[in-house]
Structure 1
Amino acid sequence: MLASLSGALLLASAASASKLSLASADCKLIPGSPAWPSPGEWDALNQTISGRLLRPRPPAAACHEAFAEFSDGVCTTVRTRWNSSQWHSEQPASNMWQNFNGYSCLPTEEAPCSDGGYPVYVVSARERAHIVAAVKFAKEKGVRLNIKSTGHDFLGRSVQPKSLSIWTHQLKSTEWHPVGYQPKGCDFMIREPAVTFESGAQMGELYAQAKERKLMIVGGDSKTVSGGGYLTGGGHSPLSPKYGMGADQVLEIEAVLASGEVITANECQNQDLFWAMRGGGGSTFGVVTNFTVRALPEVPITVWFGTLRSNASAEAKWDVVTHIFREWPKLGSEGISGYLIGNPWSTINVPTLQIIMPNTTSRDDLQKLMDPFVAGANNATGGQPILRGGSTFYSGYGNFQVPRTNLTRARDPTSTFPGTGQSKLITSWLWDTEALASPNLKQALMGSTDNETLLFTDFTAGPGTHSPPFMRGGGNAVNPAWRTAWVRPAAEMNWKGRDLDKLRERMATLKTFERALISLAPEGGTYGNEADFSADNWQHKFYGSNYPTLLEIKRRVDPDDVFWCRTCVGSEGWEETEEGQLCRV
């Protein structure tokens, strides 16, 4: 009962779950439905895809005696790596945050374990033909379809219960184009270095390959993130304030549509999908098989790293954090990015600040900007030296990005992102110049966290996101709020255990934090890849004025809603029942 109750709470949120029959024509099939495909039909699919159909057990099954996979030795490995985002990305059905599968199976003896929160079958795709077969099967049979690459998904969209899942993690081939790229069907060459990579390629892998070629790409901060969800969601980056969003770099997309057709989208063909799939969300219009993106000549970079003094008062730390936010446009206008992570209420998770300046000649380029910035922050507290730090110069971006670890890794050496393997909820908002100038700025910041919450801020917007210096096709579907924003503060909750009262309390508190963040820019929006999965009016919050056009494209290319995921374009036409079935509203 725990899994189903938790699943209903999370997946249906405040809405009551539908009670439609398992046999209803208005529902996707799940096990127990009279028309659920027979074993013979699943075997036929498996033969079509060269034996790549998996029937995975829950990722922690080895820790539970009821499963044939029970093994003390394997369980020890599972427990050791449970907090590793890379480990979860390598599991065919796992996701990184356990509240999104209803705590179906945790690696502890006292926890229940079932497969109720996971896909039933997984197609471990190694080529586009495997994806085509899976999509056609789901469409013909009417089963629920899920798409997972790494499972690094803050909204739980890459794990759908009782579904057929397409796992793209093994699609990692890359091809570099050092002098330029000619998009398919176009009669011109784009005279910029580029790289074509399959949608399962992860940022750490791409960064390493780029470094070998003295190139760099606009990619995510976490190296376990893959290209698929990152680029289709827009993709912000440490390089974005200077060079633009990840989606702004895309030259071409290959994808499998709901019909099973493999299409190429670029500025010369399928232009509507080329616009929509760069920022309009993943798992929506099709399954992306590969991207071609612009690569940049590698430049030197200087990084300033600092911390707030742990024994300073919470009030003083909030004064410094408020100053950092208020003055950020002065740094952001220089194409500088950064991250502020921590909690001024806490003496343990003390805020840390990382500032990144590309295309520098020495550490002094950044240090001379940071000295008055830091002095101003400390003057905000009456001159107390609360914020301290220094700069390091790297001769190439890859020398910084490839060997680095995430800022939060020091708190958990087995993880590349905080809270992996636990529960996670997040809400965020994009703040523009007017929001940062508000007299209520400090009040909004203080109202967006409590002592159990991380303030995880991305300073990854600036001139490059406001007016992208390189974007093909005349525009894309990135949320327009990015085009005026400077910062993206986020309240991130991570906690252990599976207590439903704690889950309910945290969800209610999250709404309070969301109201505080939105209060400074109520007509703005957020980054749909890192936001509250249960947000109301998510169509505007996640997609802005682009939503009506995105919905029209969705209805045309996928009229039967073969593809569905939470808060994705067109998802409002369906709801999830307590049984994990997807039914039309």
Structure 2
Amino acid sequence: MVRLSLGIALAATLSQTVSAAPINDTEAAAAPVAVSSSFLGGLFDFLDTANLTVTHHEGKLYGCKCSPGQLCWPSQSKWNSLNTTVEGKLQVHIPPAASCYNQFVGPLGTVNTYDAAACADVHANWENESWTVEKPGAALWTYFTNETCRPTMNPSDTCTLGYYGVYTITATKRAHIKAGIDFARRNNIRLIVRNTGHDFIGRSTGAGALIINTHSFQDISWINKYSGPGSYTGSAVTIAAGVQGRTILSAGHAQNPPLVIVTGECPTVGVAGGFIQGGGHGPWTTLKGLSADNVLAFEAVTASGHYVVANEQQNSDLFWALKGGGPAAYAVILSVTMKTFPDVPSTGATLYINDTHIGYDNDKYWNATTIFHKYATHFVDNGLYVYFELFPFTLRARPFVAIGKTVAELEAITAPMFAELDALSIPYEWTPKSFPTFFDLYLDLFEDEASGGSALTGGWLFTRDDVTNNNDGIIDAFKTVFSPAPGVFSFIVGHLFNPGYGKPVSNSATHPSWRNAANFVITVLPVPIGASKAEKASLQNVLTNTIDQALRDSSTSGATYVNEADPYQPNWQSHFWGSEYPRLKQIRKKWDPLGVFYSIATPGTEDWEVIQDTRLCKKL
């Protein structure tokens, strides 16, 4: 990362050759799009919004966000002014691996970047999620960066920005976030909101964008008795935008008595932002619902640059939409207030069935997988959560989570499954263990993920009815996932949970099918580094129309998860939100009528697309 001062000097040098060059003749001659808004005051004053730039592409007319190299791109004096407003927190964004290259060739020009010590650090930590999280604009998984600046041992290779944002604001005050939103709105710049970069489908990246990084917001405030609005009067916690799962669980464990919230299973997941805006699921979900169901209030900054509180009484429509209605769609969350729960003694276990147990016996593997998955409904109906992975000849369930239960209770729940495995002489490794609290279980049995990989991800939700009535059909779909096309391999990450267990009625904007859930699977399709554009398109087609189509065909849920599924699937509106979608689209029109915020496949983005690989545009 290069400080802004270097970027300012670079941009000033290049201003004569870069800033004045339009992308094409049509664009240079085009008139701006006229923007009108019926929202003329207060929270809905968008009269200072810059016009989109008209572009013709493949016979269609678009209004586009401004990109580097266009006449509409803000002058350096405007960027300097923004840097002053955010107190020096603005930086030119250079990818983390640029230190391994002699030069970074960016949209503002070329910078000498090689640094042997920094490059060694990149190689040592490329797969370390925590290392990547601390970078201002990096993505934990790199497919949607266009892979144009990965670690290399050859410094003469070329490093470019790819689909990363151009500038970052490492915000440390809420005023910095407001300033970034205002600047993007007034200058027609694509805006990205990024906390950790824990993002499977490219919502933390975007070519030509200004990135607002919220990760420094780490405040945690415990509330003994919540005073409303609403009927809830129990304990709660207010969590700032940058707080991650392990951080809040650690802080809760230090309370007397220990407390927990519904957070994700991965420790690097940020709680307050895109996680909750997608719904948020984790180990406590079977007992307490989705994270979004447990939200009591938000503080946020709107697309018009206003600070708002959203709860059951104030801005109640925004409150509902932020609870699962889609990330980066309505406002930037500053903090969230959530219900807390007493931590309790818990039991965890691991189940391994792999080639050390069954060799390469295909029948034994699929029989074991069929039996395991057959009991998904039974497990969630008894309050369990199970995280599992399926690879060829490997079923790895780590962990089974039995919150508030003893080893004997977990053994009783799982006994029917093991009886069936034993009847077919399928060996396995089963290790249950008791813990004084869930937090102790979490530290012991949940594992950090690895960053730096390149893959496409899809996924689907299976209801309790799906598992009960069509388990064999689901297993056939899993077989398709493993071998979807010649020479193509993908795998499955699964989550057995039921957000409707003991809490059948949703109070969030999430898909109604979640209340009858048994299993949500993520499909992961690795993409070779250096794959051509045509190869990537072919793999996307395999994911959408073979892998995930097999899952869709084996289920009646009609649903998948906003943050961990194929954004290019057909009917994403219905699959992500079901009957809630029309209301969400209307709320989006109210709070962000002109598209200041954008993330793919979120309410109201039907007319937006990325053209020419890098330009965010709206169909006119």
With structure 2 as the length reference, what TM-score do the two structures score?
0.84
Query: Which secondary structure does the structure 1 equivalent of 2:324 belong to?
Result: coil
**TM superposition shift of 1:404:** 4.4
Which structure 1 segments of 5+ residues have no match? Answer: 1-17, 407-415
Cα distance per residue 1:28-86 (max 9 Å; x no partner) = 11111212111111111111111111112121110111242211111111011111122
**TM superposition shift of 1:485:** 1.6
Say whether residues 1:237 and 2:276 are aligned partners: no
Residues 202, 226 of structure 1: 8 Å contact kept: yes
Query: How many residue pairs align between the two structures?
Result: 542
CA distance in 1, matches of 2:612, 2:540: 19
CA distance in 2, matches of 1:389, 1:295: 32
Equivalent in the alignment of 2:372: 324
CA distance in 2, matches of 1:39, 1:462: 50
Say whether residues 1:434 and 2:465 are aligned partners: yes
Q: Which of 555, 558, 568 is 1:524 aligned to? A: 558
1:156-555 → structure 2 map (5 Å cutoff): 156-177=202-223, 179-183=224-228, 186=229, 190-213=232-255, 214-227=258-271, 228-310=273-355, 311-343=359-391, 345-346=392-393, 349-360=394-405, 362-379=406-423, 383-406=424-447, 416-418=448-450, 420-436=451-467, 437-438=469-470, 439-450=472-483, 452-461=489-498, 463-464=500-501, 467=504, 475-500=507-532, 502-511=535-544, 512-522=546-556, 524-555=558-589
Residues 146, 160 of structure 1: 8 Å contact kept: yes
Corresponding letter in the other structure for 1:240 = T
Q: Which of 60, 83, 88 is 1:46 aligned to? A: 83
Residues 19, 577 of structure 1: 8 Å contact kept: no
Residues 1:446 and 1:367: Cα distance change in structure 2 (over 3 Å) = same
Corresponding letter in the other structure for 1:481 = S
Residues 1:270 and 1:202: Cα distance change in structure 2 (over 3 Å) = same
Cα distance per residue 1:340-365 (max 9 Å; x no partner) = 2131x24xx553353111112x3111
Corresponding letter in the other structure for 1:440 = G
Residues 255, 264 of structure 1: 8 Å contact kept: yes
CA distance in 2, matches of 1:242, 1:506: 37
CA distance in 2, matches of 1:329, 1:263: 41
Residues 237, 338 of structure 2: 8 Å contact kept: yes
Residues 207, 402 of structure 1: 8 Å contact kept: no
Say whether residues 1:557 and 2:557 are aligned partners: no
CA distance in 2, matches of 1:496, 1:157: 21
**TM superposition shift of 1:539:** 0.8
Ranked by relative contact order (alpha carbons within 8 Å, sequence separation 6 or more), the top structure is 1
Corresponding letter in the other structure for 2:396 = P
Corresponding letter in the other structure for 2:411 = Q
**TM superposition shift of 1:312:** 4.8
Say whether residues 1:94 and 2:100 are aligned partners: no
Residues 398, 446 of structure 2: 8 Å contact kept: no
With structure 1 as the length reference, what TM-score do the two structures score?
0.89
Corresponding letter in the other structure for 1:507 = Q
Corresponding letter in the other structure for 2:282 = S
Residues 278, 478 of structure 1: 8 Å contact kept: yes
CA distance in 1, matches of 2:381, 2:335: 33
**TM superposition shift of 1:498:** 2.1
**TM superposition shift of 1:563:** 0.3
**TM superposition shift of 1:325:** 1.6
Q: Which of 19, 33, 37 is 2:70 aligned to? A: 33
Corresponding letter in the other structure for 2:234 = E
Residues 385, 401 of structure 2: 8 Å contact kept: yes
CA distance in 1, matches of 2:594, 2:607: 11
**TM superposition shift of 1:536:** 1.9
Which structure 2 segments of 5+ residues have no match? Answer: 1-23, 31-52, 55-62, 105-111
CA distance in 2, matches of 1:356, 1:264: 35
CA distance in 1, matches of 2:414, 2:499: 17
Q: Which of 169, 176, 180 is 1:130 aligned to? A: 176
Residues 234, 246 of structure 1: 8 Å contact kept: yes
Residues 105, 113 of structure 1: 8 Å contact kept: yes
Residues 1:404 and 1:43: Cα distance change in structure 2 (over 3 Å) = farther
Equivalent in the alignment of 1:72: 116
Which portions of structure 1, spanning 4 or more consecutive aligned residues, are displaced by more than 6 angstroms? Answer: none
1:52-67 → structure 2 map (5 Å cutoff): 52-67=89-104
CA distance in 2, matches of 1:554, 1:196: 25
**TM superposition shift of 1:327:** 2.0
- What's the Cα RMSD here? 2.0
CA distance in 1, matches of 2:119, 2:508: 46
**TM superposition shift of 1:497:** 1.9
Corresponding letter in the other structure for 1:355 = F
**TM superposition shift of 1:139:** 0.8
Q: Which of 121, 128, 132 is 1:84 aligned to? A: 128
Query: Which secondary structure does the structure 1 equivalent of 2:199 belong to?
Result: coil
Equivalent in the alignment of 1:21: 27
**TM superposition shift of 1:405:** 4.1
Residues 1:111 and 1:334: Cα distance change in structure 2 (over 3 Å) = farther
